[in-house]
Amino acid sequence: MKETQRAETEKSSIARLGYFLADLAIMLVASACGAPTGQEPATLKAQTRQELATLEGHDDRITSVAFSSDGKTLASGGWDNTVKLWDAQTRQELATLKGHDDRVTSVAFSLDGKTLASGSEDNTVKLWDARTRQELATLNGHHRQVNSVAFSPDGKTLASGSDDNTVKLWDAQTRQELATLNGHDYMVYSVAFSPDGKTLASGSSDNTVKLWDAQTRQELATLNGRGSSVYSVAFSPDGKTLASGSSDGTVKLWDARTRQELATLNGHYGQAMSVAFSPDGKTLASGGVDNTIKLWDARTRQELAILKGHADMVYSVAFSPDGKTLASGSADYTVKLWMGDTLQ
């Protein structure tokens, strides 16, 4: 059984590498032809003083970071098959959660902060008690690696996106599978609930973002990424705007109600791997394979700053609940914390 699972994982990884290289080739061709894949703004805010700390402890790439709802704890997941918990104030490692048999791809806290979910290349989602650090359950159902997990705002439902092209919904209390959302043609890289919990967004290597009714589980709309894989999706705090990070290095903003594209933010050299809104909705952060984090004014759509410090691609970005800290997880095996109140 384990050999079959490993073969499936390797097959999935090869497919993902193929998509990644194809996306990179498209981006490079576009750049060579003069497409705006990485225009440097004329003026950037000073970047000094912004890096607060570097958290070291993982033995491999860090693919996901997430803050607890009270902002006291930061979780990180990585290719060393572990989830680490950090004290966000002292920056000390609190615990290492071991249980996955393969790389951890995504971490997410429930809104009450009591439960932590992790998705992995071992095809499972695990639930952990955030206080005792004990494993609560393993959710089996996906046939290939799990790329993203997200709790609904009320904490009752957990969504997961997978290389098996599906999104699954789980009852966070009973740990039972509620539904499988079929519609994407290829791997699902990212899932996110709207702040009111009524809508679920999913981004895929089929170059689309899909919106789903979280109650009826029906597909509401398909947003076309115009030939680029969608690696990350995030709703603004007021739920009016959806951001998506793409393989062509752009970040797109969408009207969540009309489903129309509002803007395309150009700046990253290479794939935009992660997007996150600040709690006040004024700032959008994006992490890319160019080793940088870019900060954008969510209203004017102008680039505010570039945060440099990572030595390899940035897989994940997340704001603390009070907006004072931005965390980033990277392929350089580190988590960095940045001063949020200098980002405005």
Q: What is the pLDDT along the chain (344 residues), one digit of tens a residue?
A: 444 444 444 545 545 545 444 454 444 434 443 344 444 443 344 343 489 999 999 999 999 999 999 999 999 999 999 999 999 999 999 999 999 999 999 999 999 999 999 999 999 999 999 999 999 999 999 999 999 999 999 999 999 999 999 999 999 999 999 999 999 999 999 999 999 999 999 999 999 999 999 999 999 999 997 779 999 999 999 999 999 999 999 999 999 999 999 999 999 999 999 999 999 999 999 999 999 999 999 999 999 999 999 999 999 999 999 999 999 999 999 999 998 765 54
3-state secondary structure of 272: strand
Residue 294 burial (CB count, 10 A): 25
Residue 304 burial (CB count, 10 A): 20
Q: 216: burial class by Cβ within 10 Å (0-12, 13-18, 19+)?
A: exposed
Looking at the DSSP assignment, which residues form a beta bridge with residue 192?
201
- pLDDT for res 227: 79
- pLDDT for res 340: 77
User: Cβ distance 156 to 173 under 8 Å?
Assistant: yes
Q: Identify the residue whose tokens are 């390797």.
A: 10
Q: Is the dihedral of CA 63, 160, 256, 320 positive or negative?
A: negative
- pLDDT for res 24: 47
| Token output for 229 | 């894989």
- pLDDT for res 341: 61
- pLDDT for res 30: 40
* Residue 29 CA, distance from chain mean position: 26
Measured between alpha carbons, how far is 317 from 28 in angstroms, rounded to an integer? 24
What is the CATH T-level fold of the domain 2-342, as seen in this structure? Methylamine Dehydrogenase; Chain H (2.130.10)
Measured between alpha carbons, how far is 199 from 178 in angstroms, rounded to an integer? 16
Radius of gyration of the chain (CA): 18
Looking at residue 245, the DSSP 8-state letter turns out to be E
Measured between alpha carbons, how far is 222 from 237 in angstroms, rounded to an integer? 21
Measured between alpha carbons, how far is 230 from 207 in angstroms, rounded to an integer? 6
